[in-house]
Structure 1
Amino acid sequence: MDLSTADPDSVLDALDRRLVCALQVDGRAETGRIAEVLGVSARTVTRRLARLQQTGLLRVVRMPDVEDAAVGALLLRVRVLRGKADTIAQALADRPDVPFVDVMLGGQEIGAVMQGDAGGRDQLLYGRLPATAAVTETTAHAVLHAFSDAGQWRAGYLDEAEVAALTPPPVATAPEKPPLDALDHALLARLGVDARQSHAALAAAVGAPESTVRRRLHRLAGAGLLRTHATVDPRLLGMAVDANLWLDVPPGRLAEVGTALARHPQVHGVFATSGPANLVATLFCADHGGLYRFLTGTLGPLGVDRAETAIVARAVKRAGVPVWRPRPRT
């Protein structure tokens, strides 16, 4: 199914949306626990989640620790010739060090997040992009601090009691993250593709006893390394408008404004950055009127000096998961 042409209301009903929200709270929540909290049968949960995953409407993947993944990452704004956005966006999405790619409204700008080492960064920024005739301009903004990211966003179809019931119990954590060996890395890699895999499936995939896998996952969770992201088209959750806000905030109020925005239920990412805009916020709104109300009612009172609003026309890749590909020409 091509979500760019699907009618969102015909794809996910109220229970489907609540199931997605349950996985936003805990991507590895067991079927029985979800069923108990939502007040439906385990068979219904199993059947619904299987349909969502098999049709590609939902993917649950592991996300790295927010500070490890975000701080030092680059937020790219790539200007391209008209008609070339899809090609350049797909080339960026094919890179493993680029987990997020969007085509902005108007079709002449691509937004992307790039992680990875300096070598890959330099090769892209100083080699591949400038050498591409379709690219007219590239700006890169380094993330200095992450107030929140996509793995922390909740769509709001669960009440506080349901969220609390699904939230994993706190795990005693070590003062520092433990060293990771080959088995740890293998498990994390598998969860980066599908975080819903059972202990038995993971054990078979990595060639280790299931009891060992359970212990390792418990230790990794305690180290904060098992954050998950339920990747779904936001339109399927009633959010028709996806926007990036590039904000100019007085430095003395940067932390205050960033923290306030990170708490807002429509915001799915807030980052302090280098460059002329020192704060970037990403948010979902039900419609353009909702975006206007956010700008005037939420952003206005925070005392932001300047705000540039860029609306996403099409998400291409989210949390490392491809969500759109151009159709081949016939």
Structure 2
Amino acid sequence: MEIRNEVDIATAGLPVPATVTPRPRVVVCMTNHERPDCARINQEIIKLNYAAPWPIVHACSDPTYEPHMEDVLVRCQPRTIIYGALNLLQQSCRAAVEIYNPQYLLHIEADTWVFNQEIITRYIDLLDRHPEAHLAASTWSTDQRPQWRRLHHPFAKVKLGLASIASAVGNDFYVKRKHTLSTQFFIARNDPRFFTMLDAVQPTIDNTLEYDFYQGFVKEFDKRGIIHIKEREPVHPDNRHWCPALTLHAQHWPEQLPRPADVPADGRPHPGVSGQYDIPGKKEVLAAHGFKHVGPAMRQLLDASDTSYYNPKAKRY
């Protein structure tokens, strides 16, 4: 187990690849700010239950975090949300190349669990077969139809009708923010140009990191460099917190909560509601999957009668 500190991306230059024979096919680049319990369970999923052994490089900006099952821990300084997320992403990928120099970098945020390794491997195989592609990721897009249905407005009904016709012929005008790429979960080919792009990303005030990541990637590699993870597109609203087709679970709540009487069940926006009354929590999906090998962090959550201990400083809903 190795512990290192972050580097200054602005002055470090491109990462110097390690000389490793044979090169690992994949290294997991995990990033985490204030979700230590999610990170520990994610590591147990990967280390104890994935058939193929993948090293984990964990970039973490929580100064109280103690190492668990990661192979490398990169301690980073806390920053504001977008700059912090970008820095963790840069630091984890850089360390993975400098220590392991794998063929592929699997970036995954600590609270984003993918239960089935074979799904990830399938996309890596696609990248193998398409050398012009350098990234497998979903867009960070939004299907507007659920919102239109809630409006009960004549114009919204017209748009829904047009969307139905357009969808039948392969047009998805009802999906917005298509010029984005999820930074939450992606697979990147290990290529110096990827780091030229990644280290040059500058968050913009008016846009999301997912937009800026897309702009930088397409400028460097073109749109043909992307293999879309279509099972999760569009991400919002239905695939944001979980995507059963990918066995992906990114919900922030440790357990599903009973719905209060004053919270509508028709999907209308409500203050403080993001899915915790409709979507199972981490505890429920972990129990339902039934992993063969249960680590100590998994066991703690599965046995907990009170989940207030779980990621105590992180936003849940």
TM-score past 0.5 threshold: no
The one of the two structures with greater contact order (alpha-carbon pairs below 8 A, sep at least 6) is: 1
TM-score tier (shorter): under 0.3
More strand by share: 1
More helix by share: 1
